[in-house]
Amino acid sequence: MNEHLPSSNPQSEQHSEQSYLTFHPYNILLTLLLISLSMIFLALTVSFIYSRVNSDLPALRLPWLFFVNTLILLASSFTMIRAKQAYLSDDTELYQKMLRYTMILSFFFLIMQLAAWYQLLFQNISWQSDTSAGYLYVISGLHFAHVIGGIPFLGYFIWQAKKYMKEPVSVLVYFSDPEKRLKLRLLTIYWHFLDALWIYLMLFFLVNQVIK
């Protein structure tokens, strides 16, 4: 009499895990958030064009610090990619280092954005100067707020890594946790989205700067 012992199917298990992560509530929430943010910024930029055309407003020249901030955000996206790569390759030291670099770059972006707004004020361009200036402050300020919103989540990852990456067993548990892998993936997507959004906004204002 043949007895058939249950055997695990690695491909089936991988497919189940992938389905679980795809339809995880966190994944769905982030997707809805990014769609909502895209619609908000699209509506604001369309409103900017409409107001400028109707009011016949002059072109608004962006301070050079706005472009420096683009490079800072690109650098933070790069460090997030390196952090994710380090996580997947179980490199604890590089993983923690890249997370810290991302945090430093994020604060650097916020400080430089405050300096960029000061640069605008120094040129006597306040949010009350005209409609174009008002939109610039609102749009860049909204992006600024969402960078701030991502910092606590990044800080949570740094704290978790520092807490659990001390002993080989806790390190193994940390790196093998599918939910932590999912959260890191979502945080990386959010960071890249903010980067792509900022590039879109800079290109948008540049085009409007050229069009008289």
Q: How far apart are CA 40 and CA 153, in angstroms?
A: 22
For residue 27, count other CB atoms closer than 10 A to its CB: 16
For the record, the structure tokens of 10 come out as: 């690695």
Per-residue pLDDT at 161: 85
Low-confidence ranges of the chain (pLDDT < 50): 1-8, 10-17
Under DSSP, the state recorded for 123 is T
For the record, the structure tokens of 98 come out as: 């890249």
Per-residue pLDDT at 22: 62
Set out the domains of the chain in order of their start, with CATH numbers: 29-210 (1.20.120.80)
Per-residue pLDDT at 207: 87
For the record, the structure tokens of 108 come out as: 């650097």
- pTM listed for this prediction: 0.83
Give the model confidence (pLDDT) of 91-111 as tens digits.
Answer: 888 999 999 999 999 999 999
φ and ψ at residue 166, rounded to 5 degrees:
-120, -40
Q: What is the 3-state secondary structure (H, E, C) of 30-62?
A: HHHHHHHHHHHHHHHHHHHHHHHHHHCCCCCCC
Give the model confidence (pLDDT) of 178-201 as tens digits.
Answer: 788 888 899 999 999 999 999 999
